[in-house]
Each structure stands twice: as C-alpha cells, then as structure tokens.
Amino acid sequence: MVDTITNNISRSNSHDRVVLFLEYDGARYHGYQMQNESIPTIQMSLENALHNLTSLPLRVTAASRTDRGVNAFGQVVSFEHKSNLNLFTYQGGMNHHLPKDIVVNKAFWSPPNFHVRNSAISRTYRYSIINRKSRPAIDRDRAAHVAFPLNFELMAEAIEFIRGFIDVRPFTGNWVEDDDPYRRFDKVCISNDLDIITVEMEASAFVMHQIRRMMGALVKVGLEEISVAEFRELLINGAPGEATWMMPPEGLCLINVKYEGFPPEIGKNQYAKI
C-alpha cells in the first residue's frame, strides 16, 4: 500500500509539479547527478523510471546532490507534471520501474512557488563510523571503518565549535569566488553506541565533500593527531582547501530536507484540489 493519502490525489492538470520523498542505497551509483548514459546515477535511474511510466522525457531536480556512494533516507526531488497520472500511480509506478535500491516513500503535489532546492530551510546529514579493529560486513556500505581507537570525548569537545555561521572554504576543494562561503549550522551532535560513533549535522546547505572533510578533521582529533585547539583554528582561520583529510562516502547519509509548512504534517496535501 502506497504511503499517500487519498485526498492527496487529483487528476487536475492545474498541478504543475510532483514532489517525491525518496530513500536510496548509493553504493553502486556515481552520485545523484546525471553524467552520461554509461555511468549509473540516481538521477538517471529516476528519469528512466519516469520515462517508462509516462513515455515523456522528464527532468528531475533534487534538493541535495549527493556524492558517489552516499546514501539517502530523506532525499526530495521534483519534476513537471505533464501526464494525467495521479499521485498513487506516480508513486506505485515509479517503484515498479525503479531498481530495488531506490524507493519512493511519499508523493505530493508541489505547493505554489515551491522549489525543491531553493525553498529548503535546512538539510540534515548523518555520518556513521564503526570504530573497532575488525572491518564491518553487514554495514560496510553504510558506515566508515576506523580500526584505531578514537577519543570520543575529544571529538565531542571539538564538535561544539561547529555552530552558527561558518566559512566552509577550508573544507572544500575548488571554490567559485562569487559564491557565499558561509553556511548556517543549526544543529551538530555526536553520539557513541558501543562501537558506532554517529555525527549529525543540520545546516542551511552543504558544499561538495564538506561533511566528509569536516569528519576527516574530527577523526584526526579523535586519533589525537591534531588538538581540539587546532581543529578550532581550522574552523575559524583555515585556508581554502586546508582540510585535506576526507572520510569515505559510505558513512554519509542524507537524513532530512526541511521546508516551511511542507509536507503537510497531517498527511493530507493541502494544495491538492478535492
């Protein structure tokens, strides 16, 4: 049974866009963004499924373009509504045509003036580390492995400095000079459960490799290869691209994309005409 409320459905062509909430295992994909037909990406799989369902060449826009190997529990995408299909059919039909490692969990009509990327208030990512001598088997594609012991207390102390508006250029590669380098960090937390260390970051937006480089610096703190003070100095005064220690992609997962008033909390799409 699809997870879309009946009152959310309309065959009216007044709806110009469809919004889908997805989850996917990114292990066998070269990231979200389309590259070419010989390279598997999430976007290519979505657009192929849409074409098989509608026979239309529809383009899909994502709220966050995840990197190669990165997973998603709460990705959000949208596309133009040019057919007479309802939301039940979009969701069920997409899941029929999609590979098993990508699934549509919810479908909504787009609110007026809504843009799946630009309307987002924040994104939340989770990074997971298995910290033990032996490599993981079951979670090898869902967590990074660090074989040497990490000092959790030092990592927790360092992460407290990731607050408010931060210049993220030390944690990126190439930078376009006209882009605003500051990102608003709303929530950053770290937890430790047995041999799993988890970090969650909620921010206004992220740039390519930023979280993996931040995690690399935090792991350096945990390994006691750099001090908490050095980590703080890197955050405040680091040179562009200075944090070159990048953790692997499999530990990273997009958890949530937050919007104001969307999707409707009661489960009914208030923008659909009944």
* Residues recognised as catalytic: 67
Using DSSP, state whether 131 is helix, strand or coil: strand
Task: Report in angstroms the alpha-carbon separations of 152 from 26, 34, 131, 157, 160.
Answer: 28, 38, 10, 9, 13
Cβ within 8 Å of residue 33, ≥6 positions away? 41, 43, 62, 65
Question: What is d(CA 215, CA 26) in angstroms, rounded to the nearest whole number?
Answer: 19
3-state SS, residue 24: strand
CA distance 222 to 242: 18
Which residue in the block uniquely carries the two structure tokens 């376009």? Answer: 176
Three-state secondary structure call for residue 202:
strand
Q: The tokens of 45 are what?
A: 């799989």
Burial track 127-153 (b if 16+ CB lie within 10 A, e otherwise): bbbbbeeeebeeeebbbbbbeeebeee
